[in-house]
Amino acid sequence: MRLCWQIFAVAMVLTAAPSIAEPSRGDPLRGHDGNFRLNPANAKAIYAEEVANELRPQEPDTDLLALMSGRCSTLKVAGRDFACRTVAYAHSTRGRAYFTIALDDPADHSHIISFSGENSRRTQDNLYELTVDRMLLNSKNRPKVDGLPVPFVELSAGMCTQLGNFAAGQVSSIACIATDKNGRKYELQFESDGSPITIRRVKPSPPTIRQRG
């Protein structure tokens, strides 16, 4: 049951449309929270316009999810050290990939980050590299659209390296490092406990159109 919930939670985070970051002030995870509190209808319209301008229209387009069991010997988020609860890899039909980590943060059970990029390569049978171009940041303070949290996006530069092979059902380690445009650094070092990874292939479907009664 817990594994199914984790898969569902990761899928919901990755299929929610992210909002592109503007110059950050204070907490980098807050984004446009103030706008949503003051005027939810207007803020939702602003958010939709930003997404349309900066990203392609988002759909539930994740076609592969892989959950890995192990420990994070290093997990740093903007200079703070954390432990991790869950580490997952996701791939979208558009080619974007994500290494997503649910942080073990007693103050925020919705604290999730993703190293994300569109350019990847497999240099050997067991070596996969992803060029990171953005960080997706989620927290309990993020606004929600249609009940789903909207990740805050920080344009970033970095790299993730994975040792292992999904086809063989084994991943031994993941190392990620990235720096956002404001100089904040994010770092992950994950080691598997040797358990086979759990892979779920997802058949993307278009969003449901709600009819007003």
Total count of residues recorded for the chain = 213
What type of residue is 209? I
pLDDT at 13: 54
| CA dist 65 → 58, 112, 179 (Å) | 18, 16, 25
Bridge partners of 192, per DSSP, are 70
pLDDT at 35: 37
What type of residue is 208? T
pLDDT at 114: 94
Residues 86/72, Cβ–Cβ less than 8 Å: no
Residue bearing tokens 């993020």: 142
Three-state secondary-structure class, residue 4: helix
pLDDT at 203: 65
CA dihedral (71, 110, 188, 191) in degrees, to 10, reads 20
pLDDT at 29: 39
Q: How far apart are the C-alpha atoms of 58 and 18, rounded to whole Å?
A: 9
pLDDT at 113: 94
pTM (2 d.p.) = 0.71
Distance of CA 156 to the CA centre of its chain: 13
Residues 43/2, Cβ–Cβ less than 8 Å: no
pLDDT at 213: 44
Print pLDDT tens along the chain (213 aa): 344 444 445 554 554 555 554 434 334 334 434 333 434 445 444 434 443 333 333 345 777 888 999 999 999 999 899 999 989 999 888 889 999 999 999 998 889 999 999 999 988 778 999 999 999 999 888 888 777 778 899 999 999 999 998 778 889 999 999 999 999 999 999 999 999 888 887 665 554 444 444
Which tokens belong to 152? 């805050």
pLDDT at 64: 84
Helix intervals (H) in 119-187: none
